[in-house]
Structure 1
Amino acid sequence: MPQRAPHPALRGLVRAYDGYDESVPEGAVHHGIPSTTATVILAFGKPLDVGWLATPRRSDTFWALASGLHDAPALVHAHGRLHGIQLALSPAGVRRLLGLPMGGLGAFSLVEHGELPLGLRADDVERLAAAPTWAARFDALDAALLSALAQPGGHEPRPEVGRAWQLLRASRGRLGVRELAGRVGMSERHLGSCFRAEFGLSPKRVARLRRFEHADALRRRGIRLSDVATEAGYADQSHLTRDWRALTGHPPTDSADFRFVQESPHPTGQG
């Protein structure tokens, strides 16, 4: 896929721009995997048709999609061609570029950018789609996101909650909630409520996503699954497989599922 790093002013907010243009069988359904980043997808030519594995008969269409954290796979219904740009936003990126905390997107919610305080508008997406080259599209995307970045921002999250997020990421999901709360100086209950409001999921569920991300990175390096399970902090390979099925809809031995930006090789901003 064509890729490019975003403008330096967006560092820590947005991961690399990932373009895609794929011909796929009519009626194919692909799985979008969860991650610890918010997903933005800009569709060209025809809107993206997306739903959830838990409700496979229900889906909605989007030209500019934003999705918060979720710990179940999304279903992407292909209609012959998938064409657009994918982005992964850090929590700071959601606040600065979409105009609300990541938790404001809601777990298991899919939102059109027109419903958000900031984000990309219909004319932005049309301009990107009409650009003659991927380089021109990425230039236009830089301009649109820098325009959103220039808008007045809302309040910042509590420092303790931001610190808890950073600790969970750095530990690759291995910190328990009690230890996490102690490190940031909050009660478990208070941390849980503040954390969910800011990020959309509890610390325990975000730790699960972070552990999965680490395991997926190890798997893609060719490490055998029993060693992946040990290194990533699972009780055993069976535990890894159960978690993997719940999060992706596939066993870890099946790599045929469609990957969005969550499996990009570029590092995710932790701002």
Structure 2
Amino acid sequence: MRTFVHGAAVWDVACPQRPSRVAGVTMAGFKVPDLAALRMVPHPAVTLLLEFGAGAPVVEDAAGRRRGSLVAGPGLGSGGTVRAWGTDVECVQVRLSPVIARAVLGAAPADLDGAVVSLDDLWGREAARIREQLSEARSWAERFAVTDALLAHRHAAGPPVDPELAWAWHRITADPGMARVDELADEVGWSRKRLWSRFRSQLGLPPKRAVQLVRFDHAAHRLVAGVGPARVAADAGYADQSHLHRDVKAFTGTTPATVAGELFLAVDDIAWPDRGTPARARPPAG
């Protein structure tokens, strides 16, 4: 476990010693005595928050407040409208590639419709069981093992996405901001309309939005690393610095300079040092 310090924030952060058995799953553990209001920055993954401590995180979006274990679709927080806070927060946070999220969750990311959903509503008694198991675990290593076993079991039992979509997602994440939807459709042998429809229903967002979100995430982390906006815009495939500014504003409701200091992003170097593990994908047949 490492200590993350950012201004007044002091968090304990734990990382698994080995990768998940399921490609496309990454996780981190957090112990936060006092989580001040935190802006949620959009991320190109489905977020699964498994809480088990004395306190409970609170997440507030336009639909209201949610407490306890939660799940949210890719791009949560667009517009800078989602906040999280709490005291005595202990949780395992899982990031699921949209390629595997449908199998693990038992529901398509599109069904989340960009909202925060209580895990109790989605999983029923299984949500209570995993909370109890995490509470009884004696170490972070045991908590990660319990979580990974559950995710692997659900993934094996759940429906896979179309292989063409897995390939398209791989192409989008392999070169952030550079993929073109028409080219993706040609590569998988589908019409643009069919790619849009299947991508949206199975992965939770349209392909063009996915390209924008992956590009933004890449750019945001470059800003946090101290790279200037002009260089970030050029390297991330934006037309110019103004284009970057508009994209950052749309996703976060704030400016590139503010994003560079976001607590939500600053912890990633400790909690998610590899920025996630892309789900394996094979080229489409033909």
TM-score bin, normalised by smaller chain: 0.7 to 0.9
* CA distance in structure 2 between the partners assigned to 1:46 and 1:260 by the alignment: 23
State the Cα deviation string for residues 115-150 of structure 1 (Å, max 9, x = none): 336995212112213433323322332333344345
Instruction: Give the Å deviation of 1:5.
Output: 4.5
In terms of mean alpha carbon deviation, does 139-148 or 191-200 score higher? 139-148
CA RMSD of the aligned region, Å?
A: 2.7
Which blocks of at least 5 consecutive residues in structure 2 are unaligned? 1-12, 280-286
* Superposition TM-score, scaled by structure 1 size: 0.83
Distance of aligned partners of 1:74 and 1:23 in 2 relative to their CA distance in 1, 3 Å threshold: farther
Within-5 A mapping of 1:9-48:
9-10=21-22, 12-15=23-26, 17-24=27-34, 28-43=36-51, 44-48=53-57
Question: What is the aligned counterpart of 1:62 among 67, 70, 94?
Answer: 67
Distance of aligned partners of 1:34 and 1:200 in 2 relative to their CA distance in 1, 3 Å threshold: same
Identity %: 30
* CA distance in structure 1 between the partners assigned to 2:239 and 2:125 by the alignment: 41
Instruction: Give the Å deviation of 1:7.
Output: 5.6
Residue 170 of structure 2 contacts residue 278 of structure 2 at CA under 8 Å; is this kept in 1? yes
Which blocks of at least 5 consecutive residues in structure 1 are unaligned? none
Quote the residue 1:101 is aligned against. 108
Q: How many residue pairs align between the two structures?
A: 260
State the Cα deviation string for residues 230-264 of structure 1 (Å, max 9, x = none): 00011222221221122123322224433179942
State the Cα deviation string for residues 178-233 of structure 1 (Å, max 9, x = none): 22222222222221111111112111111101111221232233322110110001
* Superposition TM-score, scaled by structure 2 size: 0.80
* CA distance in structure 2 between the partners assigned to 1:269 and 1:208 by the alignment: 19
* CA distance in structure 2 between the partners assigned to 1:179 and 1:197 by the alignment: 20
Within-5 A mapping of 1:13-162:
13-15=24-26, 17-24=27-34, 28-43=36-51, 44-52=53-61, 55=62, 58-70=63-75, 72=78, 73=80, 75-104=82-111, 106-116=112-122, 120-150=126-156, 152-154=157-159, 156-162=160-166
Q: Are residues 1:176 and 2:183 paired?
A: no
SS at match of 2:249: helix
Residue 34 of structure 2 contacts residue 88 of structure 2 at CA under 8 Å; is this kept in 1? yes
Distance of aligned partners of 1:115 and 1:169 in 2 relative to their CA distance in 1, 3 Å threshold: same
Quote the residue 1:226 is aligned against. 230
